[in-house]
Structure 1
Amino acid sequence: MEGKKHNVALTGFLITIIGSILFSTKAIIVKVAFANTSMDAITLLMLRMTFSLPFYLGAIWFARQEGLTPLTIRQWLGIVGLGIFGYYLSSLFDFVGLQYVTAGLERLILFLYPTFAVFINAIVFKQPVVRTQQIALFLTYAGIGIAYLGELHFDIGNPNFLWGSFLIFLCSITYSVYIVGSGRMIPTVGVTRFTAYAMLASTTGVFVHFAVSGGNLQLLQEAASHFWYGLLLAIVATVLPTFMLASGMKRIGSNNVAIISAIGPVSTIIQAHFILGEKIFPAQIAGTLLVIIGVILIGWKRN
């Protein structure tokens, strides 16, 4: 029995760490696509969601086989709202911001979302911020400040650096709203059903945005010729890691998954260095370590 538990824990650890690394490839794929094509952020995002759509539809079919009670109007509004104002907006801010900042800095700023989740739970749901979380918040924001100042020194000639950083910051806030909201709804709605319908709502938001912003036949033809970027983003950086992290949570729990996922920024920085040629500098390393320690502390105290 002890050996079986050990195998389950080891499998959960390996699945989680691989899923976290796959998630960290998103920024790399997006930066490579921007460098090698003339696609804009919304076109690339549309490609990603197009190739992800069949998996969401499949998840809806599986959810209907579970025989769950029908959703109420309030639950429908919550799922659609989180899908659009949480996941769709965070994805949009992320892709646009990546046009102006490095992949390493994007991942570091985005990794602030657990701290925003703490603030939301404290302000909206009146959950007290314990001393360990206060220390974690201090370390996390100190780390971001150190890394950001170092990055600003290297990227001082980029006129859109501050704008791109702000967009990624907004991405982190909107994603934290999605995380907090999903944590509240999943126990009553079901993880498969919630994820499927929320992602379907966010996909609809992307498609409508693409059409309204002037998505035309020429853009679609260009997107089709670079379809493999969308395929990589959908399969490697979205669908596979989503299912892997969900599987990891079942085996080792959400706290351990949150802690192990702290490898994400390190993975992105290393990939960005070798694939994109981004520099690794002391302030970035020091800031990243502080952010990771802060996020691990938050994960450790999460109920």
Structure 2
Amino acid sequence: MSSPPSSAASTTVPAAKTPLRPAVGGALWIGYALACTGATLFATKAIIVKLAYAQGVDAETLLAVRMILSLPVYLAIGLHTLLPSRRGPFDHANGRLILRAALVGALGYWLSSYLDFKGLELISAQFERLILFTYPFFVMLFGALFFRQPIKLKSLAAFTISYGGLLLLFLRDFSLLGEDAALGAGFVMGAGICFALYQLFAKASILQMGPRLFTCVAMSAASVVVIAQFLLTHPVGRLALTPHIWLLGVALAIGGTILPSFFMNAALHRISAQANSMIGTLSPVITILLAVAILAEPLTGLDMLAAVLVIVGVAVATLADRR
């Protein structure tokens, strides 16, 4: 997690008018490491969700369990961040910034997560990861169209390499799945688009509020919306789940939600949204390995070739972004 600028730096320029700046130079590698860690942890989410679905839980209930367990942690860290003795550069986190962070959080961690969980009801964990991680393409596309972000030629080459690998698996799995594949794929594609928009909108808020406060506000807002959705569509008694499902919920909340959300937003504080999203394409590779080890899904030569292409693409994109 990123620490706020030192008090010495804040004495020369009023904190209320100085947004936090992304790191430069060698500190970029910290951003890349945080992004890789976040991608690794996020990769566990699909595996845990599929294990919970095997116990008969639906998407709305599992999302509610995830956020009920996560919300107290985000509230505690957020309130601690806002203590008068620790506010420092967070003094300028006014109501408008908090509202914006809440709306961005609802987009990225409610709507995107809901569509993703609905898709996982219909398609495999490996297929879900491959579709979901088309979102870096949308980050690059929307960034160029609406945020005036340049598209680097080396980034295009990296996308071509990585998505060549993802396309191999996409075509194979699509031919093997039944008629629900198109609907499930559509849900997950929608999740990817929402998450791409989240990354682009979140960047400015993170630079102004700091990654820790932004994460707490965004995730708390998403948690409230998720819990409200569950209460409107399900009786409260549906939360009377088995201890095994609640244990999976704890793993989903901590390993698949809380930790990766802080890692990803701390990475966004240091590197570009394009670089963060491109590094995130490691997640499908990790999911493939976990699906083989935990869900007993087969691993073929095509899977291994696709994994190599994704890793090479990530390496090219990371080096291009650093330069």
**Global fold match (TM > 0.5):** yes
Instruction: Indicate which of 124, 146, 149 corresponds to 1:127.
Output: 149
Distance, in Å, in 2 between the alignment partners of 1:15 and 1:131 is: 25
Residue of structure 1 in register with 2:62 after alignment: 44
**4+ runs deviating over 4 angstroms:** 8-19, 243-250, 255-262
More displaced, 61-70 or 189-198?
Answer: 61-70
Residue of structure 2 in register with 1:238 after alignment: 257
State the TM-score, normalized to the length of structure 1: 0.83
Structure 1, gaps ≥5 residues long: 1-7
Task: Quote the offset at 1:61 in angstroms.
Answer: 1.3
Residues 1:281 and 2:300 aligned together: yes
Q: Is the 8 A contact 2:118 2:184 kept in 1?
A: yes
Distance, in Å, in 1 between the alignment partners of 2:141 and 2:319 is: 16
Residues 1:160 and 2:180 aligned together: yes
Residues 1:118 and 2:144 aligned together: no
Instruction: Indicate which of 104, 107, 118 corresponds to 2:129.
Output: 107
Instruction: Indicate which of 210, 214, 221 corresponds to 1:194.
Output: 214
Name the % identity: 31
Residue of structure 1 in register with 2:11 after alignment: none
Residue of structure 2 in register with 1:55 after alignment: 73
Residues 1:300 and 2:322 aligned together: no
Distance, in Å, in 2 between the alignment partners of 1:180 and 1:18 is: 20
State the TM-score, normalized to the length of structure 2: 0.79
Counterpart secondary structure, 1:95:
helix
Residue of structure 2 in register with 1:171 after alignment: 191
RMSD of the alignment, in Å?
Answer: 3.0
State the AA in 2 paired with 1:178: Y
State the AA in 2 paired with 1:54: P
Q: Is the 8 A contact 1:49 1:206 kept in 2?
A: yes
Distance, in Å, in 2 between the alignment partners of 1:113 and 1:260 is: 11
Q: Is the 8 A contact 1:113 1:173 kept in 2?
A: yes
Distance, in Å, in 2 between the alignment partners of 1:14 and 1:79 is: 24
Q: Is the 8 A contact 1:108 1:288 kept in 2?
A: no
Counterpart secondary structure, 2:150:
coil
Task: Quote the offset at 1:42 in angstroms.
Answer: 0.8
Structure 2, gaps ≥5 residues long: 1-26
Residue of structure 2 in register with 1:4 after alignment: none
Task: Quote the offset at 1:58 in angstroms.
Answer: 1.4
Aligned residue pair count:
290
Task: Quote the offset at 1:18 in angstroms.
Answer: 5.4
Task: Quote the offset at 1:194 in angstroms.
Answer: 0.9
